[in-house]
Structure 1
């Protein structure tokens, strides 16, 4: 595991952060009722999403060669960027009995939207434009020994 590219480092850092945020979120809300963690809106769905994305990031960063980390940054960068944009469109917030949720699924607030945009932009920039020593393919090829 000596091939620590910028993509791999970002996937590892975000994997750790998302996993911890997912776990900590359950301490402030254990129901679908929205609450706040460090000023960011969370609910059970939000926590589960963070846990899954965090664990996928850890898995991508800790694969034998780390080539999946680039794909992780690309895919989730696009997803986070789109969610950040969607969060800014009031028509996409709806729910039952005044409980406004993004796409009717999870609670987000302005801080979430800004963070989603920033994380998305960083992941897209690193995932698409920073290669480091990535091989560019998704298969592990061990280095031949003499």
Structure 2
């Protein structure tokens, strides 16, 4: 299965699922980088490698750590690389969404001050993970098998 289609002008175009995976991947990369930017991340001086003792807050809302930011960066790289093919894009969106659904449930079960809260996660993270799970799985299912492309103009 070809990853892109030629528009006849020698310009390759992406399928909608590839564009969606690429966009999600780029957002994850941006979030991962912003987690390391003082000011955008409040309490930056408390940014720890892992664990609930990191009190750094991305956008003043989402609890982050160095590990948490690295996970966002890795998800971003995976999204960008997997968006090269329609199958890869589908797998990134579907299985990435499943991972975020598991993280949502994990965040509900694990107490905030527990050693098991190693990423760390707070209530805002939990609900964002639910939104990501629904959004990524929804995109995967809605765009699966639809090889429509937007031609470059």
Q: TM-score if structure 2 supplies the norm length?
A: 0.72
CA shift for structure 1 position 121: 0.9
CA shift for structure 1 position 124: 1.0
Alpha-carbon separation, structure 2, partners of 1:79 and 1:56: 13
Unaligned segments of structure 1, at least 5 residues: 135-146
Alpha-carbon separation, structure 2, partners of 1:56 and 1:66: 14
Match of 2:86, SS state, is: coil
Q: What corresponds to 2:4 in structure 1?
A: none
Aligned alpha-carbon RMSD (Å): 2.0
Contact 1:34 1:107 in 2 (8 A): no
Alpha-carbon separation, structure 2, partners of 1:14 and 1:129: 15
Q: TM-score if structure 1 supplies the norm length?
A: 0.75
Alpha-carbon separation, structure 1, partners of 2:82 and 2:29: 13
Contact 1:100 1:107 in 2 (8 A): no
Match of 2:139, SS state, is: helix
**Alignment equivalent of 1:23, drawn from 12, 15, 33:** 33
Q: What corresponds to 1:100 in structure 2?
A: 114
Contact 1:19 1:53 in 2 (8 A): yes
Corresponding position: 1:2 with 2:13: yes
Match of 1:2, SS state, is: strand
Corresponding position: 1:58 with 2:76: no
- Give the length in aligned residue pairs: 124
CA shift for structure 1 position 10: 2.0
Unaligned segments of structure 2, at least 5 residues: 1-11, 149-153
Q: What corresponds to 1:142 in structure 2?
A: none
TM superposition outliers: structure 1 runs of 4+ over 6 Å? none
Contact 1:80 1:119 in 2 (8 A): yes
Corresponding position: 1:34 with 2:55: yes
Match of 1:34, SS state, is: coil
Alpha-carbon separation, structure 2, partners of 1:21 and 1:53: 10
